[in-house]
């Protein structure tokens, strides 16, 4: 097995040996996210929605703990991916196991009793969607081409796919991935990052991009635009504090070269901060940056604009 490629360049600056790629930790990934959603929901203007997402994350956690063994890339496929600098479990093109549809059914089942009225018919209708249609919707989610006619369903499809991809990404066979030549896509699945994370603890200060699908994290030198690689034109936008606890743990990194932005979650300020949960608790920051003319460079598929949850996501 190859040793992880170290983050040269970042090391001098950060004084540590941060691995190039971190696999998701199956035991804690969704449990920590659920706990974070719960904390963020408390006193938040969109608290009901965040609490609902805490339940969703909790079910993702349970599904991940009892996940059946499903096919992984063969050794030959892993070697080929490495040689060609390609993701080993490509979101776009991997032969999906049907298990993700079982995850979707379990999510619908588990969430229905707790769903807000507006989402009940959406969840109740998920099991009736045919396999071919579900696979078509999944293809759209994985390519971030969201079918507006189904936007209310897509976050649940994304949540089910996240469980399946995170299970595969966390397996020992997937250890030791190298970063790709394109810094802005996940070395495991080729998806875009949901946010970047400034780490605390073992790799304190290192910046990692967090995959919006498989939750793999990959190192990128701080102050490099994750979209175009430019370093000179990166700056930060923050929300004015309003007594909230999350405001200083999230900032938007904007690039005046490619006019994109991605949020940065500062675990060195709050070790429990989570790229997915903290992102959805700070949608007001997206509005602010969007109005300033920047386009978000990576998705959070638990929030699909145009879905029935949009009106409640005003925090
Ligand atoms: Zn990924
Ligand atoms: Zn840029």
* Residue 158 shares a structural domain with residue 247: no
* Residue 132 shares a structural domain with residue 205: no
In sequence order, the 6+-apart residues with CB closer than 8 A to the CB of 261 are 237, 252, 253, 254, 255, 289, 294, 295, 296, 297
Q: Is residue 150 part of a domain?
A: yes
Q: Which residues of the chain have pLDDT under 70?
A: 1-16, 241-247, 306-315
The residue among 147, 174, 201 that closes a domain is: 174
* Residue 30 shares a structural domain with residue 170: yes
* Residue 107 shares a structural domain with residue 197: no
* Residue 210 shares a structural domain with residue 264: yes
* Residue 275 shares a structural domain with residue 304: yes
CA of 169 to the centre of ligand 1 (A): 8
pLDDT of residue 18: 87
Q: Is residue 5 part of a domain?
A: no
* Residue 76 shares a structural domain with residue 160: yes
CA of 309 to the centre of ligand 1 (A): 25
CA of 217 to the centre of ligand 2 (A): 20
Q: Is residue 20 part of a domain?
A: no
pLDDT of residue 175: 95
Contact predicate 289/254, CB 8 Å:
yes
Q: Return the ligand number nearest the Cα of 301.
A: 1
Q: Return the ligand number nearest the Cα of 232.
A: 2
CA of 120 to the centre of ligand 1 (A): 30
* Residue 246 shares a structural domain with residue 106: no
Contact predicate 189/161, CB 8 Å:
no
Q: Is residue 46 part of a domain?
A: yes
CA of 241 to the centre of ligand 1 (A): 32
CA of 118 to the centre of ligand 1 (A): 31
Give the dihedral sign, CA 57/137/194/279. negative
pLDDT of residue 247: 58
Q: Return the ligand number nearest the Cα of 165.
A: 1
Q: Is residue 4 part of a domain?
A: no
Give residue 36's domain range. Answer: 26-174
Q: Return the ligand number nearest the Cα of 183.
A: 2
CA of 216 to the centre of ligand 1 (A): 5
* Residue 157 shares a structural domain with residue 42: yes
Q: Is residue 48 part of a domain?
A: yes
* Residue 144 shares a structural domain with residue 108: yes
Where would I find the beta strands (DSSP E) of the chain?
21-22, 193-198, 207-211, 217-219, 234-237, 250-255, 260-266, 295-296
Contact predicate 212/171, CB 8 Å:
no
Q: Is residue 182 part of a domain?
A: no
3-state secondary structure 33-60: HHHHHHHHHCCCCCHHHHHHHHHHHHHH
Q: Residue holding tokens 């034109």?
A: 233
pLDDT of residue 242: 58
Q: How far apart are CA 222 and CA 225, in angstroms?
A: 8
Q: Is residue 7 part of a domain?
A: no
* Residue 63 shares a structural domain with residue 158: yes
pLDDT of residue 221: 86
Identify the three-state secondary structure at position 246: coil
Percent of the chain as helix, strand, coil, to the nearest 5: 40, 10, 45
Which residues are placed with Cβ below 5 angstroms of ligand 1, an ion? 186, 188-189, 191, 211, 213-214, 216
Contact predicate 97/161, CB 8 Å:
no
CATH number, position 62: 3.90.1670.10
* Residue 138 shares a structural domain with residue 223: no
In sequence order, the 6+-apart residues with CB closer than 8 A to the CB of 202 are none
pLDDT per residue as tens digits for the range 62-96: 999 999 999 999 999 999 999 999 999 999 999 99
Tally of structural domains, the chain: 2
User: What are the backbone angles phi and psi of residue 197, rounded to the nearest 5°?
Assistant: -125, 125
Mark 18-47 as b/e (b = at least 16 C-beta within 10 Å): bbbbbbbebeebbbbbbbbbbbbbeebbbb
CA of 234 to the centre of ligand 2 (A): 7
CA of 185 to the centre of ligand 2 (A): 14
């Amino acid at each position: 097995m190859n040793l992880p490629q170290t983050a040269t360049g970042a090391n001098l600056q950060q004084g540590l040996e941060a691995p190039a790629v971190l696999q998701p930790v199956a035991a804690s990934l969704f449990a920590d996210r659920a706990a974070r959603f719960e904390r963020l929901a408390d006193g938040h203007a969109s608290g009901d929605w965040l609490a609902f997402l805490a339940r969703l994350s909790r079910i993702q956690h349970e599904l991940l703990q009892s996940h059946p063994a499903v096919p992984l890339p063969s050794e030959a496929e892993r070697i080929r991916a490495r040689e060609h600098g390609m993701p080993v479990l490509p979101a776009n093109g991997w032969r999906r196991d049907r298990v993700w549809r079982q995850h979707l059914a379990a999510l619908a089942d588990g969430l229905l009793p707790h769903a807000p009225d507006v989402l009940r018919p959406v969840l109740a209708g998920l099991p009736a969607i045919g396999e071919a249609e579900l696979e078509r919707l999944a293809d759209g989610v994985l390519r971030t081409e969201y079918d507006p006619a189904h936007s209310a369903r897509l976050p649940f499809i994304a949540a089910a796919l996240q469980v399946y991809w995170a299970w595969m990404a966390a397996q020992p066979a997937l250890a030791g991935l190298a970063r790709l030549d394109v810094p802005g896509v996940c070395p495991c699945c080729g998806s875009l990052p949901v946010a970047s994370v400034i780490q605390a603890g073992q790799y304190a200060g290192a910046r990692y991009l967090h995959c919006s699908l498989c939750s793999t994290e990959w190192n990128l030198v701080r102050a490099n635009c994750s979209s175009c690689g430019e370093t000179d034109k990166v700056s930060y936008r923050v929300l004015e504090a309003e007594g909230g606890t999350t405001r200083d743990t999230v900032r938007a990194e904007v690039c005046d070269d490619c006019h994109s932005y991605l949020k940065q979650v500062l675990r060195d300020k709050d070790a429990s901060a989570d790229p997915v949960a903290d992102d959805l608790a700070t949608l007001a920051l997206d509005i602010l940056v969007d109005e300033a003319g920047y386009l978000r460079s990576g998705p959070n598929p638990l929030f699909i604009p145009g879905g029935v949850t949009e009106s409640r996501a005003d925090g």
